[in-house]
Amino acid sequence: MTSRDAASGGSDPRSERAVADLLAHAPAGPDQAALRDAFVAHLRAHPDALSRSGPPAHLTAGCVVLDARSERVCLVLHRKARAWFQPGGHLEAADAGLAAAAARESREETGLPGLVVDPHPVDLDRHALSGAFGRCTEHLDVRFLAVAPEGAEPVCSPESLDVRWWPVDDLPTAEPALARLVAAGLERATRPTEPASDGVRAGACGVDVP
């Protein structure tokens, strides 16, 4: 589907699900609320924004991956950007939603087994991309929390130059968005968990990734 299709009334079930997920998200503060509203508006104007062939600004999903003790965060050295980031990327056709896409991307990019992904976003971020990313000029990134099992060790994928655990208080970059994401993940991971009405607990749990 193209942006022209959207203007003529076309729809994408994945886009509709993403809009519903974003509208159900309770942002932490006015800046995050403004990003949520901007993401929803962009998806409504461009239902194909989930696709690599969509408009230049793409909606993506990823995770801040913490170890079982919330002492380390797993980051990947991105091959195109040549910088350390949390795992994440575009949605695929088989992804059931944003959290499922974030879980899949995290598993693929870190090689960590048994990740458990909280189904509720912890952070939203909008950032420009370098020319190395081709026609995609901007990512509207929805970020979740993933927790790895005790003793799990990452394995570098072909998409990355390196992958490793970093102490949460000694990140390899001073990028404010990454620091904010790690802080949001830590806050969610250490929050007491409570059963929800649908049986999914809030906190560091949700989508199990083999």
The rounded distance, in Å, linking the Cα atoms of 156 and 110 is: 6
73 within a domain of the structure (yes/no): yes
33 within a domain of the structure (yes/no): no
The rounded distance, in Å, linking the Cα atoms of 135 and 53 is: 9
Residue 164 carries which DSSP code? E
Domain count, the chain: 1
With 90 as the cut, is the pLDDT of residue 196 above it? no
22 within a domain of the structure (yes/no): no
113 within a domain of the structure (yes/no): yes
- The enclosing domain of 182 has a CATH number of 3.90.79.10
35 within a domain of the structure (yes/no): no
48 within a domain of the structure (yes/no): no
What does the pLDDT look like over 24-55, one tens digit per residue?
A: 999 999 999 999 999 999 999 988 877 777 77
The rounded distance, in Å, linking the Cα atoms of 43 and 59 is: 8
pLDDT for 52:
73
pLDDT for 49:
79
79 within a domain of the structure (yes/no): yes
- Give the residue-averaged pLDDT of 54-82: 90
95 within a domain of the structure (yes/no): yes
What does the pLDDT look like over 109-122, one tens digit per residue?
A: 999 999 999 999 99
| 56 vs 120, residue with greater confidence | 120
Domain range for 84 is 56-209
Whether the Cβ atoms of residue 90 and residue 58 lie closer than 8 Å to each other: yes
